[in-house]
Amino acid sequence: MATAQEKATPCCGDNNSPNSSAAPLRPKKDWPTTSPDSMEDPSRNRASVATLIRAVDTFPDPPPKTASTKGITVMVRAQTSHPLDPLSAAEISVAVATVRAAGATPEVRDGMRFIEVVLVEPEKHVVALADAYFFPPFQPSLLPRTKGGPVIPTKLPPRKARLVVYNKKSNETSLWIVELTQVHAATRGGHHRGKVISSKVVPNVQPPMDAMEYAECEAVVKDFPPFREAMKKRGIEDMDLVMVDPWCAGYHSEADAPSRRLAKPLIFCRTESDCPMENGYARPVEGIHVLVDMQNMVVLEFEDRKLVPLPPADPLRNYSPGETRGGVDRSDVKPLQIIQPEGPSFRVNGHFVEWQKWNFRIGFTPREGLVIHSVAYIDGSRGRRPVAHRLSFVEMVVPYGDPNDPHYRKNAFDAGEDGLGKNAHSLKKGCDCLGYIKYFDAHFTNFTGGVETIENCVCLHEEDHGILWKHQDWRTGLAEVRRSRRLTVSFICTVANYEYGFFWHFYQDGKIEAEVKLTGILSLGALQPGETRKYGTTIAPGLYAPVHQHFFVARMDMAVDCKPGEAFNQVVELNVKVEEPGKNNVHNNAFYAEEKLLKSELEAMRDCNPLSARHWIVRNTRTVNRTGQLTGYKLVPGSNCLPLAGAEAKFLRRADFLKHNLWVTPYARDEMHPGGEFPNQNPRVGEGLRTWVKQNRSLEEADIVLWYVFGVTHIPRLEDWPVMPVERIGFMLMPHGFFNCSPAVDVPPSSSDMDDKENGISAKPMQNGLIAKL
């Protein structure tokens, strides 16, 4: 992700653009790092901690290892990249070149294909050291106090990259760790300066597919003579109209074993070759079975099993404006402007974000997409209070409920088989976000090892979110209002026909909301004349949309009031219980909240229960609030579901983690993917979460990781054709006994000068920000 450029971009639409008088964002060198006082001289913050690190410039470079003042080693060289910053384009190039040079033979080197290059995230104590002494705003309190005082190294450990490499000639998958040292040499055209730390072959797996493979697979299928003949039977001779989506094979039997790299494409056909906005998914081609060897790019199996006529061209099929489809475009929408005349309230330094009392770091990986690191809340005299080490969406699964071919095998693992980050959009020209925006670029490797950049991949902006709090005293008629504003960090990706927007919202009252927005185009099936399907909705002549589900897994490495290195969290479940009739409930109206400590991993496999208002609280076992209760953050479920499939469903052997809405584990560095790192063609049952929790590790006081599985059951409507309007699902992390009183008290009261007598509106501000209707 880019760190050098700051982009302040109004929305693309004229109706939503700020006026010309709005002040642009300041360039990066002017962004304050800790307070407005540091805006004119950013070095002031570094100088302000000179008393802590006793930095002196009289030592040669590098300094003697014994150079120190009062037991504190001198820091003489600034660090250029924070340990959690995503890999830069130069670092990715160095990592790829290092691995390629380490190939044993020319054949091995030529066969290397690069699936993923990501940062090896350092241990938490390294991050704490960086935040304490190397990167502003300096936070020495993050490090534990020792009798002799803190010892500060002269520099942080070298950054490392982890590479997933597929060898196209040997069909082997290998993992490499590369230490990145003099990366700057690569940008000057010099030789790579990486160092291979380790490498190993991972047997019996297939890594995620790549866009280059998909394009090559489509070309191979289109050139296959029996396929062309089958399409000719359906009245299609122009192969430019044909769309081949190379879906991963999944695992349904031993024939899908990872000894071969397989794809089972789905076929669609457009009606017009010169219509860029045509919905090609409106004409599925059914009855054709294709199996492709993705290693050698050859068709292994082909069968024209059933001649199903192509659905007729529906005039409503396209997603171009209404007038082009015989409708009428709406013309009664007047301009809506999002204006921040004084610029945004957030501050950005590299990937470090400060807004209101929140601060965190933004990361990005090809698999997960957006990652939020080191989330903390600044709470007055209590200072920086950690909430979470790391937040991200680590997997999503989309199983379909139609038992007919080919829909029964549609159960995509969109993160593990494809990569959410690698499929992300450039938001540069879109109206995905309104107002003043800070964009972040994302860098990743392509299949052949080149570096690609998604410009404006992550969007950071503020949003008005209605009323945060209001109360009116009926005796005096006076009202107090707090308007809610939230900071939103998001990215959007496309996986075949569907779009997914992933959002993290930070609120002024301490809440964090995780939200997924689903939209795009339905994956459809064709019908014989007069046929209907009980497993879907008929949405056009000869066309139906199968029922299906979408599941997402959020991984939350929590740190409620815990410094790095501390493991003082536990999880309790709250259920509302109705009091038994008797002397304690003579009026039969009593109910209460009952707490249960989840003591171990097997005990913490839990499901949502709206009938008991079930939720879970992550508590600090050592910190209390003013009433003596343990401080905590609670996970509040939104709407949710479980898989609507039999226990022996094939996709559940790879997605066993879908069987529960909540899993809790103690932090382990290598436990990142709930279905295992390589779910593609995975023959192993229950790999990942199901295997880890068998250890039944204690959770009574631990470094807690929450795995929340949430989903939606989609029964398509006629109104979902030709496009599916956004559907939102998610959950909330809310303070629970964390603050001594509501942070909403600190939010500035709402006030406004309004005088629009033409429309019957007239109001004026009163003292203390009160608004009264005249």
**Residues belonging to the active site:** 414, 498
Q: Which helix (H) or strand (E) holds 582?
A: none
Helix (H, G, I), strand (E, B) or coil at 408: helix
What is the distance between the alpha carbons of residues 261 and 258, in angstroms, rounded to a whole number?
A: 6
Helix (H, G, I), strand (E, B) or coil at 565: coil
What is the distance between the alpha carbons of residues 123 and 162, in angstroms, rounded to a whole number?
A: 15
Buried b (16+ CB within 10 A) or exposed e, 405-431: ebbbbbbbbbbbbbbbbbbbbbbeeee
Q: Where does 294-410 show beta strands of DSSP type E? A: 298-304, 347-349, 352-355, 358-365, 369-378, 384-399
What backbone torsions phi and psi does residue 623 show, to the nearest 5 degrees? -115, 135
Burial of 65 (0-12, 13-18, 19+ CB in 10 A): exposed
What is the distance between the alpha carbons of residues 423 and 370, in angstroms, rounded to a whole number?
A: 12
Cβ atoms within 10 A of the Cβ of 774, count? 9
Q: Alpha helix (H) ranges present in 628-715?
A: 689-692
Burial of 576 (0-12, 13-18, 19+ CB in 10 A): middle
What distances in angstroms separate CA 396 from CA 415, 502, 518, 550, 667, one per listed residue?
6, 12, 12, 7, 21
Strand partners of residue 630 = 624
Q: What is the number of H-type helices and E-type strands within the chain?
A: 9, 37
Cβ atoms 96, 114 nearer than 8 A: yes
Q: Where does 211-276 show beta strands of DSSP type E? A: 242-245, 262-263, 266-269
Chain centre distance of CA 494: 13
